[in-house]
Structure 1
Amino acid sequence: MTNVLHSALLAGLIVATVPAAQAEDAALTVGMSGGYFPFTFVRQDVLQGFEVDVMNAVGEKAGLDIQFETMSFSGLIGALDAGRIDTIANQITITPEREAKFAFTEPYVIDGAQVVTRKGNDAIAGVEDLRGKIVAVNLGSNFEQLLRDLPFADEVEIRTYESNIEQDTALGRVDAFVMDRVSSAQVIKESPLPLQLAGEPFSEIRNALPFRDDEEGRVLRDKVDAALATLRKDGTLSEISEKWFGSDITSPAAE
């Protein structure tokens, strides 16, 4: 009888500890393209980049097991909607349309929309010179909408790409592409393609992590947001940024 009671108590203890262990190791499935250097990219079969480092640091702080899922950028929002992933770490800019649909963390990257041209194409010195030009953007990105919001948008031919906007600009198939300034500067620095920045950023963008706007999504958002706040306060976000960019792009003071 004593052995039975002891077994029952032991079983109770095991059952009681399982949820706690599961909670500590709860998984967070993070979607990213794996093709947006230096934020998320694959080199020697290893997924790496600024976003990967940030999410791994978030996982450590929040007690979350981070699992990455890579797919085309244009499919990420649909995957989040369908519940196949919990959030997206791919420089998702907060827009009114997205904010109405998703629960966002506080921004963790402050950046700007940048025009990039083939090196030597000095006819385009900024966004005002895109009138009558062919401009490439990544499919599903907010940069298409930024261009469509320009007062002279009907004078700009916008082409959407799954990839290779840099190559087609360098080859002269399009006149320019628009991407965030940080990535644009890194592409020019790291790539052999003949490209140059055209003028200053024409719109500030604030990038954050979107979650489904339901009870479960908001709980996850709050947990990740708290971790990001701690990482910002203790300097970890700044350190990760310095590692990848040589500057701090995680605060409003970033250049």
Structure 2
Amino acid sequence: MGQTKRRAVSRGLFLWVGVLGLVAGCIRGPVPSPARPALLAGISGDYPPFSDWKQEHPSGFSVALVEAFAADQGLEPSWVRFPWSGLVTDLSAGKFDLADGGITVRPERSVAGRYTVPLLRNGAVLLLRRPVWAPPAVQAPPLTVETALAEVRALDRPELRVAVNRGGHLERVARSLFRHAQIQTVPDNAVRETLAAGEADAALSNTVEAPRWAEGLAGIELLGPLTRDVVAVYVRPDREELATQLDAWLMAQEASGALGTLRARYLGPGAGERTALPLPALLAATAERLALMPLVAAAKQRVGQPVEDTSQEARVRASFRADVAQAARAAGVAPPPDEALDAFCQAQIDAAKLVQQHTPPASDARAYSLETELRPAVARISAKMSTLVVRLPPGLEQATVLEQARDWLGASGLEPPAVERLARTLAALSPHPEAARP
């Protein structure tokens, strides 16, 4: 065969291979893109406007938030429903990587998981259809927490029927507020329907949900807020990297205004406070840490261990310095001086000891392990604090920090000198105004 003929045959074979490949490609269809890593997200689906699951897919503020995070991080969210009474056990069993849906920060949950920076603050609200036997209202709204609690104490009688969602944070609130009233726990968050049907005199909700519930119900008063609560995303304790990514993403969304827009769209104007910023997040973490201290005190009481442990305090200070140094390297900034870090850390430790010293013996409390449960939980909060310290804005005024500290730590039980010390040492961590920040 001549050279020209061989080249012609080769070209023909090449063309046929190309045609066959094109035909095969058409048969197979387009090559699928690589699957995105899955993000297992827990949701109750029964707590609008945070989450609702009446269709084939959940909706609400928390769903939109998690889906936006997943899209930015290249993850594929997969939704897993949980009952409120099973939130902690389902997280501990690894049924999901994170849970969202209006989840309140509570100490027993901090033991089992890791909270992100706060999404918002709200409070318990009582929707009351005042019975004929009840005393008249003491004060017209708006009420302070103190005046609202005074109203509740006047209503706390065996005749009062209070409906509340079963198994969640608000059931615990109801049982702490009402010692004599009848507490009716209602499944599937059908509390509003119970009140509307006249099967209860009052229902416990929160500042976001209560106004929606009151619409269309005649003769309803809103008493509250009765508590100061923080809502955050709840992450498995072994997914620290995921929690850190969420913290950074939430703070960026807060700084850009995107998180505020999402709150306004789903939650209304009452949820406009910017909570996912370094300073309020640090104060929220301080409050979360202090809330664990009665459990720590009970654990020490059971084994006869004193409140003060100077060797443990030294380990905590050293670990905090190391965590801040690592966070500073990751952020590309200089960490605060060791003296300032030690002063802030010691203020945290001393505040924790004050709470422990004023904790009465609690024989009925769950027996948490100091070494395997409580100290790891405190360490997770301290690690979260370290990432927030290096993000503090420059030039924080001590007066500004003190004002916010009084607000965020108002329910911690600390005396004013302890709050002032925490604020002073926190302000000292802020870099000079000329220092660069990412």
Same fold (TM over 0.5): yes
Q: What is the Cα deviation at residue 79 of structure 1?
A: 1.8
Q: Which of the pair is proportionally richer in strand?
A: 1
2:161 is the counterpart of 1:134? yes
Q: What is the Cα deviation at residue 144 of structure 1?
A: 1.9
Q: Which residue pairs with 1:200 in the alignment? A: 224
Q: Which residue pairs with 1:241 in the alignment? A: 263
Q: Which of the pair is proportionally richer in helix?
A: 2
Alignment check: 8 A CA contact 1:103 1:213 kept: yes
Structure 1 vs Structure 2 CA RMSD: 2.4
**1:40 equivalent among 51, 57, 66:** 51
Alignment check: 8 A CA contact 2:63 2:101 kept: no
SS state of the match for residue 220, structure 2?
Answer: strand
Q: What is the Cα deviation at residue 84 of structure 1?
A: 0.9
> Alpha carbons of 1:76 and 1:96: their partners in 2 closer, same or farther (altered >3 Å)?
closer
Q: What is the Cα deviation at residue 252 of structure 1?
A: 5.7
Partner Cα separation in structure 2 for residue 222 and residue 148 of structure 1 = 34
Partner Cα separation in structure 2 for residue 250 and residue 112 of structure 1 = 14
Partner Cα separation in structure 1 for residue 79 and residue 114 of structure 2 = 20
Rg comparison, structure with higher value = 2
SS state of the match for residue 100, structure 1?
Answer: helix
SS state of the match for residue 271, structure 2?
Answer: coil
> Alpha carbons of 1:236 and 1:252: their partners in 2 closer, same or farther (altered >3 Å)?
closer
Q: Which residue pairs with 1:213 in the alignment? A: 237
SS state of the match for residue 224, structure 2?
Answer: coil
**TM alignment of 1:67-216, pairs within 5 A:** 67-118=78-129, 123=134, 125=137, 126-132=151-157, 133-150=160-177, 153-163=178-188, 164-189=190-215, 192-194=216-218, 196-214=220-238
- Does 1 or 2 have the higher relative contact order (CA < 8 Å, sep 6+)? 1
Q: What is the Cα deviation at residue 47 of structure 1?
A: 2.0
Could you state the TM-score of these two structures normalised by the residue count of structure 1? 0.78
Q: Which structure 1 segments of 5+ residues have no match?
A: 1-20
Cα deviation digits, residues 59-88 of structure 1 (max 9, x gap): 123332222122433333322121111111
> Alpha carbons of 1:159 and 1:116: their partners in 2 closer, same or farther (altered >3 Å)?
same
Alignment check: 8 A CA contact 1:29 1:86 kept: yes
Cα deviation digits, residues 25-77 of structure 1 (max 9, x gap): 33221111212121111355442111111111221233322221224333333
2:257 is the counterpart of 1:230? no
Partner Cα separation in structure 1 for residue 120 and residue 153 of structure 2 = 26
Aligned length: 224
Alignment check: 8 A CA contact 2:210 2:222 kept: no
Query: Which letter maps to 2:93?
Result: A
Q: Which structure 2 segments of 5+ residues have no match?
A: 1-33, 138-150, 276-438
Partner Cα separation in structure 2 for residue 27 and residue 91 of structure 1 = 22
SS state of the match for residue 49, structure 2?
Answer: coil
SS state of the match for residue 179, structure 2?
Answer: helix
Deviates more, 1:135-144 or 1:43-52: 43-52
